[in-house]
Amino acid sequence: MSDFIRMSAAEVARGVNGAAFSASDVTDAVLAHVDAVDDRIGSYLTRLHDLARETARNVDARVKNGEKLPLAGVPVAVKDNMCLTGTRTTCGSKILENWISPYTGTAVQRILNAGGIPVGKANMDEFAMGSSCENSALGETRNPYDLDRVPGGSSGGSAAAVAAYEAAIGMGSDTGGSIREPAAFCNIVGFKPTYGRISRYGLIAFASSLDQIGPLTRTVEDAALAYEAMAGHDPMDSTSIDRQVEAASTALRTDLKGVRVGIVKEFVTENLGPEIHALYQQTYAELEKLGAELVDVSLPTADYGLATYYLIAPAECSSNLARFDGVRYGMRIEGADVGQMYEKTRAAGFGPEVKRRILIGTYALSSGYYDAYYVKAQKARTLFSQDFKRAFESCDLIASPAASSPAFRFKSKSDPYSMYMMDYYTIPMSLAGLPALSVPCGWVDGMPMGLQLAAPLFEEARLLGAAHAYEQATHHARRHEPKMLEVAS
């Protein structure tokens, strides 16, 4: 395997900016590696070799002209719900299978402006609805650590690409855990910033009040660099926060002295099995060894997270996906009249999970049920924010599992409820709009697990700094290579 493949984003950028090697050198090596391994992994729905090489040449020219680019020559996997001009943008759905984006989303453009190289459009659960990447209608993505297991979802393609050295940065979106859970499954870092920190312009919407773009990387430092490149106010997104972005990559620390870490008493781990329980007890002890003070905190509404989320998110999905009707773009199946066209197009274009959530959301918003379900869920969401605000009065960060189990085998979760339970620990942070991340914390049954850390609103620098200290002290991610990955020589 080429040395370029294993380099972190920070190492690539330093090398390209310092003229030790070129962006084109890195790009050629990564594209060759993608061609060698991705037929087995399935990270990408669309490979962008020509665009990648053209972008790399432009980056080399900019560097030669004296520019210092924070992501110079860094290979990037773009989740396929993000628009990039002239590329197929499918959302993992048949209804958009052949749609070509006419514009580039703000977050993607900022990555390109910083010197990133778009390697391909990464697979995902259809319209970001899922926790395993099994809901993609257009391809199967496998976990690089065990090809019989899922990579997590919905950002499974981006996570697998980073874990399999097919990119140094994966762009993902997180609605209820769709960055953090696949990061945990694939032994990488997954970071969801504060809601509104990164523009959603050009992100095809699932649940607009929850969706947030963020990076998946192999190191916390790389996550900080990607975050700095993407974050900032955007007038094209009405929910974008007009607030200065703190430098995160210079706030990384080596210990946790003086940091109070909250352990949520409602987030019990005993019911996850003895091995997983023991792992998280060890993980919390590792935080203490780094100087953190562990404090007990309470989130009384924690058990209502799933019910709240699976009313709000489907309701917003029902509204957002109404635009896919065969009239303006995407799949169109003719009918005897316009009503029949709608029905045939949506029946053929959407998969089972998307249809399930549209039905749930439509029901929750319907006359006679709106107050009983949707309004009540919004009131519960307010309680989540209040609970976190009280909890953070006695701690600086909150620690918990990032997922309820290691990556599971394909088709092993046949009922929706067991799949939804995978997001039990991540959904509360999403409902409150908090920044949260997953960092590798150990292994169970030969598969990686993730520690979730969450911080108060806009405390991304604090969060990334603490995660870096934990990562550098423990090195859990380095203990195993993707054992079934055939690497390019």
Active site amino acids: 79, 154, 178
Q: Which CA distances in Å does 461 have to 83, 107, 194, 228, 301? A: 28, 19, 11, 10, 27
CB atoms closer than 10 angstroms to residue 68: 12
Q: Given the structure tokens 């066209």, which residue do they identify? A: 341
* Partners of 100 in the β-ladder: 88
- Could you tell me the two tokens for 389? 């605000």
The tokens 């009503």 sit on which residue?
A: 339
Residue 333 neighbours by CB distance under 10 Å: 15
Angle at the Cα of 144 (from 23 to 443), degrees rounded to 5?
Answer: 115
Strands 212-217, 169-174: pairing kind: antiparallel
Check whether the bond before 319 is cis (ω within 30° of 0): no
Dihedral angle, C-alpha 209, 210, 213, 218, nearest 10 °: 170
CA atoms of 425 and 302, how far apart (whole Å): 9
Other C-beta atoms within 10 Å of 188: how many? 29
